[in-house]
Amino acid sequence: MAEREVQAVVFDLDGVLVDSEQQWDEVRRGIAVEAGRAWADGATRALQGMSTPEWAAYLTDVIGVPGRPQDVAAQVIDRMASRYRSRLPLLPGAVEVVQRLALHWPLGLASSSPRQLIDAVLESANLASKFRVTVSTEEVRAGKPSPAVYEEVVRRLGVDAQQAVAIEDSSNGLRSAAQAGLRVIAVPTKAFPPDKDALSLASVVVHSLDDITPPLVTSLSDRS
């Protein structure tokens, strides 16, 4: 086996498979507005990639939403779950890219969403069986941009990080995967484009999930 041969692919969830970044932003902002709190400059970007305990503490400590962080988190998650029950916002090509790559590699998922929402999305999209490993940042020591969630996914998959490819959209996600040692395919979103320095960490940048094919992933075996 070649040392750099791709042995696994790890997906992000929010912004890669589901068009949910805007919904997270709307729900969190809504809770802040209801509490009479202003939305801090940079808060939206700061929250992307945080684990549930981290973003809940941010809402209470930085934004000033009253209540215990765990109660605020439960309120946000309940509202997100309600939105998903109403309409699951799968991105174009999401189901197809998972099915396509699952034919060639074991798949992992490294998500900042809480376990409740990860499971709800994958079950609703009939994709749960395609993923060998799924990890939420609430299950590791820190959220993205910490590499912890990617390190845990590749550990459970039983592959070296350098033999895995991540698919990410956000600045913090790109930094997390790259710091863990994975090669990264970036799928930037128009609503929340990644910072240039984060995007430069990607081995390749694509414009849609349809561009992510087995030959593209295999080509990354020769890239550092």
Q: How far is the C-alpha of 202 from the C-alpha of 168, rounded, in Å?
A: 9
Same-domain status, 96 and 170: yes
Same-domain status, 68 and 167: no
pLDDT bin (cut points 50, 70, 90) of residue 190 is confident
Same-domain status, 117 and 78: no
Q: CATH number, domain at 32?
A: 1.10.150
Burial code (b: 16+ CB inside 10 Å, e: under 16) for 173-211 equals bbbbbbbbbbbbbbbbbeebebeeebbebbbbebeebee
Domain count, the chain: 2
Catalytic, out of 12, 78, 119, 222: 12
pLDDT bin (cut points 50, 70, 90) of residue 195 is very high
Catalytic residue status for 12 = yes
pLDDT tens by residue, 27-83 = 999 999 999 999 999 999 899 889 999 999 999 999 999 999 999 999 999 999 999
Q: How far is the C-alpha of 92 from the C-alpha of 90, rounded, in Å?
A: 7
Catalytic residue status for 169 = no
Q: Which pLDDT belongs to residue 192? A: 85
pLDDT bin (cut points 50, 70, 90) of residue 21 is confident
Mean pLDDT of 148-170: 98
Same-domain status, 12 and 115: yes
pTM comes to 0.89
Same-domain status, 152 and 78: no
Q: Which pLDDT belongs to residue 163? A: 97
Query: 158 Cβ partners below 8 Å, 6+ apart?
Result: none
Q: How far is the C-alpha of 179 from the C-alpha of 161, rounded, in Å?
A: 10
Catalytic, out of 14, 71, 160, 195: 14
In a 13 Å sphere around the CA of 49, the CA atoms on its Cβ side amount to: 23
Last residue of a domain, one of 55, 86, 117: 86
Q: Which domain holds residue 216?
A: 8-19+89-222
Q: CATH number, domain at 173?
A: 3.40.50.1000
Same-domain status, 94 and 71: no
Burial code (b: 16+ CB inside 10 Å, e: under 16) for 78-103 equals ebbeebbeeeebbbebbbebbebbbe
Same-domain status, 111 and 217: yes
